[in-house]
A and B are shown apart, each in its own frame.
Chain A
Amino acid sequence: MRLISLVLTAALALALSACATAPRNPIATWVPSENFDVRRPVVIVLHFTEQDSVQQSLDTLRSQNSGGRVSSHYLIGDDGHIYQLVSDRDRAWHAGAGRWGTITDLNSASIGIEIDNDGREPYTEAQVTALLKLLDDLTTRLRIPKSQVIGHSDLAPTRKVDPGPHFPWKRLSDAGYGRWPQRALSDPPPGFDGWMAMAMLGYSPIDRAAVLRAFRMHFRGRDDGAELVPELDAEDLRILHALTQSQ
């Protein structure tokens, strides 16, 4: 026992000295305050793996790939089994370049959840049930507002289409997660600016066709492809108007 305690103490001292110097800024005088916490994530990002098996995804997310190292905090198999690969307090590498409103570094601000799905099939019942349990756990433990759940394509519409048009956003919303129109849809008043509403929700205005495709996958369950005409139709406007009615 005594030896273990000594070894532990030595390891702790080593770890402390290893990281105690790094975070200080050389242009400032260091006068430490004890009033701080570890940074917590403020949003949850959902992905599909676009792979054939959970084992294949476990390998990809835990190794050095030819395409660069990637990871996520969680991976949910099609049987509903949940794996955790990265601690909640750490920054996993799942989001890549993109932004969601004022959040400009999604990896730093988020929890990433990969769902075992090849991108062409419906999500399994066991998987969605497990996801809802995990969202309940994360939003409770990490105090993330339940509305703060988005898809990878929402933050990176020009690059990504996951979790895709098969993802049951309405069901998540029924359980209290994510954004969804909270009242019966009605036509917005004249002059309603749908693209400004898009920006207000969080969509980056860089590429309207890509944004509209991501929006329709999320809120209308349809993929109009990369060549769609970037014009909002009456249903888009009704949904956007309803979404702007809640904070």
Chain B
Amino acid sequence: MGGLLLAGCASIPAGQRSALAEWKPSPNHGVRRPSIIVLHYTVEDTLEGSREILSDADRKHPVSSHYLLDRDGRLLQLVPDHLAAWHAGAGRWGTIRDLNQASIGIEIVNTGSEPFPDAQIDALIALLADLCARHDIPRSQVIGHADLAPGRKIDPGKFFPWKKLADAGFGLWPQGEPVDPPPGFDPWMALRAVGYPVDNPRAALQSFRLHFRGIDDGDRGTDRPDANIEQQNAQALPTLEPEDLRILYALTRN
């Protein structure tokens, strides 16, 4: 543990070096900072229960997040901002292939089947303002776990108030009056341009609708995504609704 703690401290010289290179140290360097923020819900009903899970080093797959936010706005920090917490898992968002390395993870106490109280969202917005200011993170760089891991994750879920975050200036949201895209508009390329991995098209569409329409295709039955990428057939791309197309077109013109 001591070694790991020390490794986060820029003043300790024992770092990662290549055996292929001659070491000619330069003083011109700093500490790697996060450049994106990922939001989760805990599923677990209580703050204390969630904290125990996020601090348990003996689980088969240990997990953590930088922050844990209770329903009443109480905020815990579990991992320092400059280190990588273990919250994102496999997934990608645009050119970021390993989200844990580049992100701050915020776990929000919520079972997934309830609305988020105002006190909690107000505290979240205050935390986002703090993080974006201190680490120079563009305010648009706030996403959900489901966005980076479609088919595997659906948090922070259909109840999460992305519009309210957008009104406070955070995250991605269509700007201006939504209009129909021109003929030839390729929504699958648009989804990829926004950041979504589309290896599993149905799952990507589910994550997109959770985020921008507050709709869970899982509830609609017929569109349940198949997590097994191998079984996906490229011929069977799901059809986007006109509202999906308008939102995507607006997002790619932001």
A-side residues, CB < 8 A to B, are: 12, 15-16, 18-20, 23-25, 27-43, 58, 61-62, 69-71, 74-75, 81-93, 100-105, 108-109, 130, 133-134, 137-138, 141-143, 145, 148, 190-193, 196-197, 199-200, 202, 244, 247
Contact = CB atoms under 8 A, between A and B. Distances in A.
Contact of A23 (B15, B82, B101, B126): B82
Nearest to B75: A28
**Closest 7 A/B residue pairs (Cβ):** A191-B184, A87-B15, A23-B80, A102-B94, A101-B95, A35-B64, A71-B28
Which of B1, B4, B30, B138 gathers most chain A CB within 10 Å? B30
B250 interface: no
A89 B126 contact: no
Contact of B22 (A40, A84, A108, A190): A84
B186 to A, nearest CB: 6
B8 A91 contact: no
B113 interface: no
Contacts of A101: 94-96, 195
A82 B20 contact: yes
A89 B33 CA distance: 11
16 contacts: A28-B67, A28-B76, A34-B57, A39-B102, A40-B84, A62-B28, A71-B26, A87-B29, A88-B18, A93-B30, A104-B138, A142-B16, A145-B97, A193-B184, A196-B189, A202-B95
Interface in B75-94: 75-86, 93-94
Given A33-B79, A40-B98, 6 more contacts: A23-B83, A35-B85, A36-B84, A36-B86, A102-B195, A247-B197
B29 A93 contact: yes
Nearest to B130: A27
Contacts of B23: 83-84
A82 B193 contact: no
A105 B33 contact: yes
Interface in B1-34: 1-2, 4-13, 15-34
Interface majority SS on B: helix, strand, loop or mixed? loop
A145 B90 CA distance: 13
A25 B65 CA distance: 14
A85 B22 CA distance: 9
A89 B16 contact: yes
A38 B7 contact: yes
B54 A33 contact: yes
Contacts of B31: 90-91
A33 B93 CA distance: 26
A15 B12 contact: yes
Contacts of B7: 38, 89
A76 to B, nearest CB: 9
A106 to B, nearest CB: 9
B46 interface: no
Contacts of A18: 9, 11
A84 B24 contact: yes
Contact of A190 (B30, B76, B184): B184
B175 interface: no
B63 to A, nearest CB: 6
A143 B84 CA distance: 15
B6 A15 contact: yes
Interface centre among B26, B54, B95, B199 (most CB of A within 10 A): B26
A108 B10 contact: no
A205 to B, nearest CB: 9
A41 B101 contact: yes
Contacts of A199: 193, 252
Contacts of B195: 101-102
B51 interface: yes
B18 A38 contact: no
A143 B98 CA distance: 9
A148 B29 contact: no
